[in-house]
Amino acid sequence: MFHSVPRRVSTEVGVRSLRRAVREDGARGSGSWLGEAAGLLLSTLHRVGVLETSTRSKQRSKGLLSIFADHCGFVTGQRLRRACRIAELYSNLYSEKTRWTLAGNLWRRFQSKHSSPGKLIAALAGVFMWDKEKIQDEEMHRCGLELQALETVKSLNGLAGPASGHAEPGWEVVMEKKDFRVWKRPIPDSHLYEYRVLGSYTDVTPRQFFNVQLDTEYRKKWDGLVIKLEVVDRDVNTGSEVLHWATHFPYPMYSRDYVYVRRYEVNLENNLMILVSRAVQHPRVPESQDFVRVHSYQSKMVIRPHKSFDENGFDYLLTYSDDPQTAFPRYCVSWMVSSGMPDFLEKLHTAALKAKNLEVGIQDYAGVIKSNDNVGRQQNPERHSAEKKHTGGPGQMFA
């Protein structure tokens, strides 16, 4: 029996013979054209042999990858079926509220041990990390101290209206009117300013002014710039909320949208109403091509009644900053904010007057007075009709 010889072997034998012939031809001094033609033929045959070898290697690799993929798919399917059975078991044993509490406790425990990986997994899984993003008690307390500091300057100057000076250095007066004064100061390492307004009203109650800012449904009626305003998430422990707000900007700028967390409280011990908001990222509200997302934003409002929460007259302090993502120079942005803020406050004041005159019905967020010990938080305020006395609900500060 004669064994067949593979084609690659015969090719290699032919190549070796041709190489030897070329060397002998070169030694005899034959014409160069023969050497060039032989070299071209040699390289062609060599590429054919390499191509055959490469094809066989790829076929072997493809077979291994197919086996590995089948194995991974089998293991993943088994684990998914096991997870579904465990979930079905727990759903039969526990109520929905208990299951969510258990999942939250497990998540917080994992998050405390693995903070950096926890953030990445939270982003991929679409989980909002309330423990990291919520507005802390200390931040709410500082807002009250800022108003007290300005009131001290006001009393030292012996003025009946807003303070002519400022308790902190770096602030310069932008606008001064009878009922309010506006300051600004540059934000370090930025081309933007932070703004502060100290003002007072005597014809509406603190409760009405506070509630009008919080009611999202009413905000859509009195603020013509609002395109979209809705609550997307809530924290049952602190009453904080995450909102998505889209608003028109002056032509020719595109509309902007904000995703921010807000927290509010009515502090009976210090006779204050406080509302704090700042920008966050939330997995339920990804950026879209319809709006320009504002990532840097903060607003703080503190209200102190002259007498009580339900009697006319109060002072307020509004501190505000944001980066509207514009290409305009710094002085142009400063002018737009300085001129737009009084207009917004006047709209807010008019909306509060309508609520006072029972022309509209709004939610009462101040219906339950909250003290510093976090007792008495009203988590689900009901919408009151226009005939009821106290009114108010969710919304957002000036931007």
Strand 172-176 to 272-279 pairing: unpaired
The DSSP H or E segment spanning 267 is: strand 256-267
Burial of 225 (0-12, 13-18, 19+ CB in 10 A): middle
Q: What is the CA 166 to chain-centroid distance, rounded?
A: 32
Q: Tens-digit pLDDT profile for the chain (399 aa)?
A: 455 545 444 445 454 554 555 455 555 544 454 555 556 655 665 555 555 555 666 666 667 777 877 778 778 888 888 888 777 776 666 666 566 666 665 655 555 555 445 444 444 445 677 778 889 889 999 998 888 888 776 665 554 444 456 767 889 888 888 888 889 999 888 888 899 999 999 999 999 999 999 999 999 999 999 999 999 999 888 888 999 999 998 887 889 999 999 999 998 888 999 999 999 999 899 999 999 999 999 999 999 999 999 999 999 999 999 888 876 666 676 667 767 788 889 999 999 998 887 666 677 777 644 444 444 444 444 444 443 433 333 333 332
What gap in Å lies between CA 388 and CA 399, rounded to an integer?
A: 31
* Domain extent listing, the chain: 1-24+40-87, 94-127, 133-356
pLDDT score of 395: 34
Q: Mark 170-200 as b/e (b = at least 16 C-beta within 10 Å).
A: ebeebeeeeebbbbbbeeeeeebbbbbbbbb
Give the integer Cα–Cα distance in Å for 146 and 355: 28
Res 305: pLDDT: 95
In this prediction, residue 376 carries a pLDDT of 42
Residue 323 tokens, joined:
């980066």
> Tokens 């005597």, residue?
202
CA dist., res. 192 & res. 169, Å (int):
17
Cβ(209)–Cβ(305) under 8 Å? no
The Cα–Cα gap between 135 and 264 comes to: 10
Asked if residue 176 lies in contact with residue 198, where contact means CB atoms within 8 angstroms, the answer is no
CA–CA separation, 268 vs 206, rounded Å? 13
Rounded distance between C-alpha atoms, residue 275 and residue 318, angstroms: 10
How open is the CA angle 264-269-270, to the nearest 5 degrees?
Answer: 70
Count other C-beta atoms under 10 Å from residue 271's C-beta.
17
**Contact, 305 vs 299, CB < 8 A?**
no
Strand ranges, E, within 306-376: 314-322
Q: How far apart are CA 378 and CA 367, in angstroms?
A: 8
| H or E stretch at 279 | strand 272-279
Cross-strand pairs, 243: 231, 260
Task: Answer for the pair 219, 395: CB distance below 8 angstroms, yes or no.
Answer: yes
Task: Write out the two tokens for 155.
Answer: 């009393």
Give 285's contacts (C-beta < 8 A, 6+ positions apart): 232, 244, 259
Q: What is the DSSP letter of 370?
A: B
CATH number of 133-356: 3.30.530.20
Cβ atoms within 10 Å of 256's Cβ, excluding its own: 21
Give the rounded distance of the alpha carbon of 176 from its chain centre. 34
